[in-house]
Amino acid sequence: MIRIWQLMEVSVPGAEPARTDPGILQFPRWSIDDICVMPGTLGSISLRIIQVAAAIVSFSVMISASDFSTVTAFWAPGSPFGQTATDNFLVATTVLQCMWSLSVAAVEVYSWLFGRSLKYSPLLNIFVIGDWITAIVTFAGACASAGIAVLVGRDIHGACTANFCGRYALAAGMALLTWILIFTSFLFTFWILATR
């Protein structure tokens, strides 16, 4: 009795070498596991650390400006809650970004040190949702602070001192860099979640 799988064998494996056309480029095949920023890899951990560093620089530049408390978009002096970090949208988003990226980096360092894969972990869902929310809030904070810096720097003549405009533009730029980095993490993590 002949089985179907025997009928499908046309040649004996290994009898003939595989033929390749030298005129056609052969690209190496890759899989989703080859991505360097997959959660739990050294590339993803370094991306998270760079996110924290950019958020800290943005936070530090914003706080170090001498007239930080006079601009209500950055700091609300008439707030019923007093002058706290939550009144400043950019400061609040950078603090949120630092806390989120540090906590995810801690989980990724643990999985990297102990050889655990996060590809099929339920934590991947939390990473995607957290990265998405953090990316939206960080982008909103960067755009709001950049808008105020442009408003004061270009539209209100004479209101821009060298300390004020340069520092707020740098803080907005670093917040935008933070958003680009967190959005990169979101895209790769979402891609891994969608293709697993």
Classify burial at 133, counting beta carbons within 10 Å of its beta carbon; exposed 0-12, middle 13-18, buried 19 or more: middle
pLDDT value of residue 186: 92
Q: Do residues 63 and 57 make contact, with C-beta atoms less than 8 angstroms apart?
A: no
d(CA 177, CA 54): 7
pLDDT value of residue 19: 58
pLDDT value of residue 8: 44
pLDDT value of residue 24: 65
pLDDT value of residue 108: 92
Angle at 192 between CA 187 and CA 195, to 5 degrees: 120
Long-range contacts of 121-129 (CB under 8 A, 24+ apart): 123/39, 124/39, 124/189, 124/192, 124/193, 124/196, 125/193, 127/39, 127/185, 127/189, 128/186, 128/189, 128/190, 128/193
Average pLDDT per run of 10 along the chain, which is 196 residues long? 48 53 64 70 90 90 69 48 50 89 94 86 91 93 82 68 70 89 91 83
Residue at 107: amino acid letter: V
pLDDT value of residue 66: 61
- The string of DSSP codes covering 87-132 is G-HHHHHHHHHHHHHHHHHHHHHHHHHTT---TT-THHHHHHHHHH
Name the residue with tokens 């300390």: 163
pLDDT value of residue 85: 38
pLDDT value of residue 84: 36
Q: Do residues 32 and 38 make contact, with C-beta atoms less than 8 angstroms apart?
A: yes
- What's the predicted TM-score (pTM) here? 0.71
Q: List, in sequence order, every beta strand (DSSP E) within the chain.
A: none
